[in-house]
Amino acid sequence: MNIAIDLGTSNTRIFVEEKGKQLDEPSAIAHNTETCEIIAVGEQALKMLGKTPSAIEALYPLENGVVAHSYLVEDLVNIFLNEVYTSKVVMPRVVASIPIDVTDVEKRAVVNAISSFGVRRVYLIEGAKAAAMGCNLPVMSPHGCMIANLGGGTAEIAVLSLGGISVSKTVKSAGNQMDEDIIKYIRRKHNLHIGRRMAEQCKIAIGCVIKPEEEKTFTVKGRDALRGLPKSVVVTSSEIMEAIIDNAMAIVTAITDVLEKTPPELIGDIHSDGITLSGGLSQLEGFPELVKKYTGIATVTVANEPLDCTINGCGKAIAYIDDVEHTKDGEIIPLMAAY
């Protein structure tokens, strides 16, 4: 049996061959800092963020799509894989997504984390390419296609053709950075300290990147910066737009930069077919319109099930595992490496 894993900064998803997506959990882990015992992972660990006693730490062990705490990522992967793969007779082969501009050291950290579970081989694929495959874009054809995969840790923009990436750019400040920007904005404007989870809930509820036709509101709760007492404030979607627009524009600028570097023949295909957005951040109100405005591309669409594009693409890449071992001259496969 073969498995695909999307080890994301915010969420980890696992796809099992012939069964589909079997796990979708936050990439959070809580551990005892004194005994190194794992207390909780996934949704349970997410609920502990910012609420733990001194001896327990809850955190995201991945930052900007790469491993920041290797031993915690190994524990996280082992626990998640044990939930979906119980056979002890046959070791699985695993397809894993990695960022486009990952270094050899960062690549090895991902491979080591997955290998610790006991697998036959690990096959790697760039996250943007996997997302494009999950969106059913013609990645393997000579026709150019463009994907902007907007996640929590990074935003990856890529132009693909013939199973490879022609031009790409990564922005290492995406959804999580927007949460931080909301925290800073509310502290500065309303003298209110809020946590990351509250900021994320606010972004999901009323976040937008163009002036909304109908103003929405959200009540944020936290600690008064002046008195130190509990306090709540009602914020509007226009205020949240003001907080996150700089980050959104950095992503749009990266998209225009990629278009400027794209070969003429490929950009002709993109002009005809448009740009596809995937990832959680693509669901922010007004993002397609913002991209249209600054790129001049008439068709900018959000993929169906944008959160699952990468893991679905990794699942499709499982079909190419055997081709890695027996690649014929001139044969094109999407998998980039095997360990």
Could you tell me the residue ranges of all domains in the chain? 2-130+312-338, 138-173+246-306, 175-243
2-130+312-338 architecture in CATH?
2-Layer Sandwich (3.30)
CATH code matching the domain that covers 138-173+246-306, chosen among 3.40.50.720, 3.90.340.10, 4.10.1240.10, 3.30.420.40: 3.30.420.40
Decide if pLDDT at 311 tops 60.
yes
Per-residue pLDDT at 177 exceeds 60: yes
Q: Is 115 exposed, middle or buried (0-12, 13-18, 19+ CB in 10 A)?
A: middle
Which CATH architecture is the domain 175-243 placed in?
A: Alpha-Beta Complex (3.90)
Same fold: 2-130+312-338 with 138-173+246-306:
yes
Higher pLDDT, 322 or 266: 266
Taking the whole predicted model, whether its pTM rises above 0.85 is answered as yes
In DSSP terms, 122 is beta-bridged to 94
Contacts of 99 (CB under 8 A, 6+ apart): 64, 65, 66, 106, 126, 127, 154, 156, 170
pLDDT at position 330 is: 58
Res 327 pLDDT > 70 = no
pLDDT tens digits for range 129-149: 999 999 999 999 999 999 999
Q: Provide the token pair at 310.
A: 């990468």
- Residue 17, number of CB atoms within 10 A of its CB: 16
State the average pLDDT over residues 295-311. Answer: 94
Check residue 323 and give its pLDDT: 82
